[in-house]
Amino acid sequence: MTKADIVNEVSRNTGIEKLTVQKAVEAFMESVKDSLVDGKNVYLRGFGSFVVKKRAEKTARNISKNTTIIIPSHNIPSFKPAKTFVSKVKNQVK
């Protein structure tokens, strides 16, 4: 499902114009990104959490050149679904 599909679905279910829904969806995504950039986690009860994970410094190897490099520690965004969300996906019958 793409962002356009989400906009169409929300517009169809709520009766709100697609342009308005698109602006709302984009504003939501921008808010989540801004929060994660600031180091703040986003918790959506019943859906999941967008969290910032810290990756430790590590040594990597370039096998073709037989060299090692150090990858510095860095932050990475992550999503952890809520338990109710996971159970609905697990219990889905195809």
Which residue range(s) make up the domain with 73? 3-90
How much is the pLDDT for 45?
Answer: 94
For position 82, which CATH number holds? 4.10.520.10
How much is the pLDDT for 5?
Answer: 96
53-88 pLDDT tens trace: 999 999 999 889 889 999 999 999 999 999 999 999
Q: From edge to edge, which strands make up the β-sheet containing 42-44?
A: 42-44, 48-55, 74-81
Domain count, the chain: 1
Q: Is 7 exposed, middle or buried, given 0-12, 13-18 or 19+ CB atoms closer than 10 A?
A: buried
One-character DSSP codes across 49-73? EEEEEEEPPEEEEETTTTEEEEEPP
Cα 53 from Cα 30, distance rounded (Å):
19
Cβ neighbour number for residue 77 with a 10 Å cutoff: 14
